[in-house]
Homo-oligomer: A and B are copies of this chain.
């Protein structure tokens, strides 16, 4: 199996971390194809960054499918561009948030997502509701700029631990979901320390990708995710115009 992992921001070190997490859980026969967006923000913090990350993300999805990927993972916990990528691609596309929430749902009745910045908290609350976990998942922000996760001296991990502890004490959390692709390397150690399941979205999404490929399932092209209709796109977006088949 060949699974594409796209980092929709332009920071290569985050791509590397996601690819490493992906390879750590992938099956013996799975090849992880890692790609970094070539245009857009260096990190995705809030709605504006998310919107401008889309062209770069969709370009990588399209290129990866052409290069033989059988499924794609968007390595951002906001599930940026997930619906658009599903409409575009003939292969299944997985998001980190959706994958992590359903994984947590198999293990616990109540859990907490710990994310980076306050500006992403409500965005993720809305996502958890959209995915049907509104009554089961709480969301906490640890006040960590995304790129501080790349710097081991930033104090970011201490802030993250503090929110996990509050989730266990105050939220009645039975499991923890790490709400940023940049936390992928921390899941197993935190799970050992706190004695509850700690779910990383990259790992969860890669296993869902394998599961779909093995079941010969792909995105429905009936209704919501129908193939984009051929039409003219102008200006800097001209290259993205869908063509007739």
A residues lining the B interface (CB < 8 Å): 10, 25-29, 37-43, 45-56, 58, 81, 83-84, 86-88, 92, 94, 98-99, 102-103, 105-111, 118-119, 121-123, 126, 129-136, 145, 168, 172-175, 188, 191, 195-197, 199-200, 203-204, 207-208, 210-212, 214-220, 222-226, 228-229, 231-238, 240-242
Contacts known (A92-B107, A106-B92, A122-B223); A210 close to B208, Cβ less than 8 A: no
Chain B: which residue is nearest A82 at the CB level?
A: B47
The count of identical subunits is: 6
A136: contacting residue among B132, B197, B220, CB under 8 A: B132
Is A103 in contact with B217, judged by CB distance below 8 angstroms?
yes
Q: Which residues of B contact A234 (CB under 8 A)?
A: 10, 37-40, 42, 56
Whether the pair B196, A232 counts as a contact (CB closer than 8 A) is no
**A124 to B26 alpha-carbon distance, docked (Å):** 33
A46 surroundings in chain B (CB, below 8 A): 87, 224, 226, 228-229
Closest to A219 in B: B107
Interchain CB contact under 8 A, B126 and A130: yes
Query: When chains A and B are docked, how far (Å) is the Cα of A167 from the Cα of B225?
Result: 18
Contact A122 B107 (CB under 8 A): no
